[in-house]
A and B are shown apart, each in its own frame.
Chain A
Amino acid sequence: MLAAMLILPTLPAFGQESARRGVVPYEVEGDGIVRPLTGAPGDPNRGAALAADRQKSLCVLCHPGPFPDQHLHGTLAPDLAGVGKRLTEAQIRLRVVDNKRLNPETIMPAFHRVTDDPTVAAAWRGRPILGAGEVEDIVAWLSTLKE
């Protein structure tokens, strides 16, 4: 108990959220998250499949990019082609995890965050849109998009 009290104040601001199911702690440095959310590296092939999944990651609903089914792209968000050249891996990671930290007005959902918002449907409450491993897979894939 005493140990916990001593340690708690040293945790970064995300400490409370990290206690929630399915959200891992992370540290924002500048406009990025340098350290991966997981021990195992992300798999770009899994990330590519996940990014094109209209129900799970939802990326393709808003972003154009190097996806199959070109006619099913959204046009509401920046083209993902070349994002690996424009942004560092750390910058991409923060934008996927919680882009609202950089721009509270953005329409991009925070993919690895949980809030107390009572309007969230019961089936989704307390769960992030993407788990830490899924975030890393998508970050790994986006980082390969150099042109």
Chain B
Amino acid sequence: MTRGQRLSAWLLLAALAAPLALAGEIPRDQRRSGADFMAPETRAMQADDTANPAMLWVLEGDALWREPAGAAGQSCADCHGDTAESMRGVAARHPAFDEASGRPIDLQGRINQCRAERQSAEPFPPEDDRLLALTAYVARQSLGLPADPPDDPRLVPFQENGRHLFERRIGQLNLSCADCHDDHWGGRLGGAPIPQAHPTGYPLYRLEWQTLGSLQRRLRNCMTGVRAETPSFGAPDFVDLELYLMRRAEGLPLEAPGVRP
């Protein structure tokens, strides 16, 4: 091999290796729901309303929606009426910009905000079954609609912070979300397939939890896994991360309440 040929061979190798080393964001046409990575029986459980355990929370949410709460004695239904109309697409557009706080708010944050301000009731604590039930019930009204994060320029800095948090290496294991979910999705971690980390099924029933949980709970699980500090529930960083995840999943159909292993 001449020197020129050797150089060409190296350049070819470098060109071949580059896409692997710099995998980066997932191309739009390769985006896949986490459900695609599940065993057929788990997919069937999610698809069948009579088998999906999360539907119990949707039913409870339906009841809570009509129940007056707080000092105002108002129910959600008193203002919002029929959810099939008023709540259709709402989950697909959250997190959204909240005028009051001047930053993004996620769906369960919005429900708690409405509860405090309109119903004059105590906000639900994080992961409270009633909050999960109302969130699941509202999210269910967007079933099948594409994730449609708002094109609001005021959201951009928060979304960029979310991206930074997604790409930043953290914890004793020094791994970022992107290391696994952008660069190694489809691979196996301890035997379990790594999905692309799309937030389109939340809140969802995780078999490992044996209950319904929020996206923030799931994010905390991953952070604990890499031995990192976890922000508290409702922390602004979590909402920014949720916002980035929603942008990253733009166009994928919502499937809440989902089921995951």
Residues of A whose CB lies within 8 Å of any CB of B are 54, 58, 60-62, 69, 71-76, 100, 105, 107, 109-110, 115, 117-124, 127, 129
Assess whether B171 is in contact with A107, with CB atoms less than 8 Å apart. Answer: no
Task: Give the complex CA separation of A60 and B189 in angstroms.
Answer: 9
Q: Mark B209-233, 1 if CB is under 8 A from A, else 0.
A: 0000000000000001001111000
**Chain B binding surface, main DSSP class:** loop
Nearest opposing residue in chain A for B186, CB measure: A75
Residues of A within 8 A of B86 (CB): none
Given known contacts A76-B184, A107-B179, A107-B184, A120 and B191 CB-to-CB distance under 8 angstroms: no
B116 at the interface (CB under 8 A from A): no
- Shortest C-beta distance, A111 to chain B (Å), equals 10
- Shortest C-beta distance, A107 to chain B (Å), equals 5
Given known contacts A54-B190, A76-B184, A120 and B175 CB-to-CB distance under 8 angstroms: no
Residues of A within 8 A of B188 (CB): 73-76
Assess whether A129 is in contact with B172, with CB atoms less than 8 Å apart. Answer: yes
- Which of B172, B173, B190 sits near A60, CB closer than 8 Å? B190
Assess whether B21 is in contact with A120, with CB atoms less than 8 Å apart. Answer: no
Interface range on chain B (Cβ under 8 Å from partner): 20 to 34
Residues of A within 8 A of B73 (CB): none
Assess whether A121 is in contact with B171, with CB atoms less than 8 Å apart. Answer: yes
Residues of B within 8 A of A129 (CB): 172-173
Assess whether B227 is in contact with A75, with CB atoms less than 8 Å apart. Answer: no
Interface residues in B141-191 (C-beta closer than 8 Å to A): 168, 170-175, 179, 183-184, 187-191
- Shortest C-beta distance, A78 to chain B (Å), equals 13
Residues of B whose CB lies within 8 Å of any CB of A are 21, 168, 170-175, 179, 183-184, 187-191, 194, 224, 227-230
Task: Give the complex CA separation of A117 and B194 in angstroms.
Answer: 26
Nearest opposing residue in chain B for A118, CB measure: B229
Assess whether B190 is in contact with A120, with CB atoms less than 8 Å apart. Answer: no
Given known contacts A105-B21, A129-B173, A74 and B190 CB-to-CB distance under 8 angstroms: yes
Assess whether A75 is in contact with B172, with CB atoms less than 8 Å apart. Answer: no
- Shortest C-beta distance, A70 to chain B (Å), equals 9
Nearest opposing residue in chain B for A58, CB measure: B173
Residues of A within 8 A of B228 (CB): 119-121
